[in-house]
């Protein structure tokens, strides 16, 4: 199930990028949402979780960004934040939304800072805020849908997940 959720999200990111306008209010970051959803299914085996998201990060780098080890590191950082929130709070629909928001804010901020520092682009802080709020709505909705589906499926098939 872990691989399926991640792969669906990964490919949806690519496919929807053609249909969703860059200036719209619904920018997809489904792969990042999938990192939040799959965490409980690793049953606190953090090493396996980090290994998995590192591979997804590398794949994301090569396929969508033409970079190497850029999203790899960011995904590991997001994995750390997701792990920390899961350690502090119990996993439920609200913490999943919180983790999605935290991951998107972190992701956008890191990419913004990297571009400002290393790529000589001229962006303002307002554009960072714009990129964040434009990514929130669709990804929170996606998080809710995937959470409900996986919750239902894991209960039905008695799949173990950490709480």
Partner 1 sequence: MYRKKQKEKRNKIIIICILIFCLITGFIINVVITDRNLTIFEKTIKDSVLTVQKVLAFPIDFVVNKINENNGKNKMYEKYNDLENQVKENEKYKVENEELKKQLSDMKELLNINDTIAEYTYLNANVINRNLDYWNDTIVINKGEHDGITKDMPVVIGTNLIGKVISTTTFNSTVRLITATDVVDKISVKIKNGDNYVYGILNGYNKENDTYTIEGISQNIKIENESIVTTTGMGDIFPSGIVIGKITGINTDTFDLSNVLEMKSDVNFDNINYVTVLRRNI
Q: Which residues bind partner 1 (CB under 8 A)?
A: 11, 13-15, 17-19, 21-23, 27-29, 59, 62-70, 108, 111-112, 114-115, 118-123, 127, 131, 134-135
Residues 6+ apart with CB under 8 A from 75: 32, 35, 53, 54, 56, 57, 60
Work out how close the CB of 85 gets to partner 1 at its nearest, in angstroms, rounded to a whole number: 24
Of 58 and 140, the one with the shorter C-beta distance to partner 1 is 58
Q: Note whether 25 and 134 are within 8 A (CB).
A: yes
Among residues 24, 119, 106, the alpha carbon closest in space to that of 65 is found at 119
Work out how close the CB of 86 gets to partner 1 at its nearest, in angstroms, rounded to a whole number: 25
How buried is 157 (Cβ within 10 angstroms: 0-12 exposed, 13-18 middle, 19+ buried)? exposed
CA–CA distance, 112 with 75 (Å, rounded to integer): 15
Of 46 and 131, the one with the shorter C-beta distance to partner 1 is 131
Work out how close the CB of 87 gets to partner 1 at its nearest, in angstroms, rounded to a whole number: 28
Structure tokens at 49: 């979780």
Work out how close the CB of 8 gets to partner 1 at its nearest, in angstroms, rounded to a whole number: 9
Of 102 and 116, the one with the shorter C-beta distance to partner 1 is 116
Of 133 and 153, the one with the shorter C-beta distance to partner 1 is 133
Structure tokens at 11: 């490919």
């Amino acid at each position: 199930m872990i691989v399926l959720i991640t792969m669906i999200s990964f490919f949806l990111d690519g496919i929807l990028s053609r249909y969703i306008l860059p200036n719209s209010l619904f920018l997809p970051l489904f792969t990042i949402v999938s990192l939040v959803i799959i965490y409980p299914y690793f049953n606190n085996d953090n090493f396996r979780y980090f290994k998995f998201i590192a591979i997804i990060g590398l794949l994301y780098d090569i396929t969508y960004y033409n970079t190497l080890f850029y999203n790899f590191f960011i995904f590991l950082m997001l994995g750390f934040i997701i792990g920390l929130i899961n350690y502090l709070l119990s996993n439920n629909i609200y913490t999943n939304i919180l983790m999605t928001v935290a991951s998107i804010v972190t992701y956008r901020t890191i990419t913004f800072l990297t571009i400002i520092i290393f790529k000589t682009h001229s962006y303002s802080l307002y554009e960072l805020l714009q990129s964040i709020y434009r990514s929130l709505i669709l990804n929170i909705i996606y998080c809710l849908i995937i959470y409900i589906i996986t919750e239902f499926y894991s209960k039905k098939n008695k799949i173990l997940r950490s709480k």
